[in-house]
């Protein structure tokens, strides 16, 4: 629901996920960046139990139930690690993991 990058950077994104956040209500001054990014081809996915105001603008709405969000992100992490670390060693991914994450310390 909060992110590290500035909202204006959404315009440079290719894929945006909004999880249980109704940006029309909580980030009203910033929400126009989502529509501008979508105009440029960005895929926008909303993960929320209700079809909220922001969900009507998305490319795909995934109606997760309470408690499913952890399982969903664990599955996403599993796919990323399997495809970019186990099945195929991608140098950019390996370098990123070593520099910016705590993955090397995980058991």
Which pLDDT tens digit goes with each residue over 13-24? 899 888 878 888
Answer whether 100's CB lies under 8 Å from 92's CB.
no
Residue 62 CB contacts under 8 Å (≥ 6 apart), including other chains: 45, 46, 47, 48, 72
Determine the average pLDDT of the residues in 26-35. 86
Average pLDDT of the segment spanning 63-72: 86
The model scores a pTM over 0.75: no
Pick the CATH number of 1-64 from 3.30.70.980, 3.40.50.300, 3.20.20.70, 3.40.228.10: 3.40.228.10
| Confidence (pLDDT) at 45 | 93
- In this predicted structure, the answer to whether residue 10 has a pLDDT above a threshold of 60 is yes
Task: Supply the pLDDT for residue 15.
Answer: 92
- Domain parsing of the chain, residue ranges: 1-64, 67-101
What mean pLDDT is predicted for residues 9-38?
A: 86
Q: Find the distance separating the first CA and the last CA of the chain, reported in whole Å.
A: 28
Percent of the chain with pLDDT over 70: 94
Report pLDDT for 24. 84
Residue with tokens 């590290």: 4
Whether the pLDDT of residue 28 is over 60: the answer is yes
């Amino acid at each position: 629901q909060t992110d590290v990058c500035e909202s204006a950077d959404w315009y440079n994104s290719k894929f945006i996920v909004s999880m249980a956040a109704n940006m029309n209500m909580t980030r009203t001054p910033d929400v126009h960046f989502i529509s501008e990014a979508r105009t440029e081809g960005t895929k926008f996915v909303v993960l929320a139990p209700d079809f909220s105001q922001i969900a009507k603008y998305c490319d795909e709405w995934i109606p997760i139930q309470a408690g499913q969000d952890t399982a969903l992100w664990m599955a996403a992490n599993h796919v990323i690690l399997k495809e970019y670390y186990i099945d195929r060693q991608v140098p950019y991914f390996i370098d990123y993991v070593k520099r910016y994450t705590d993955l090397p310390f995980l058991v």
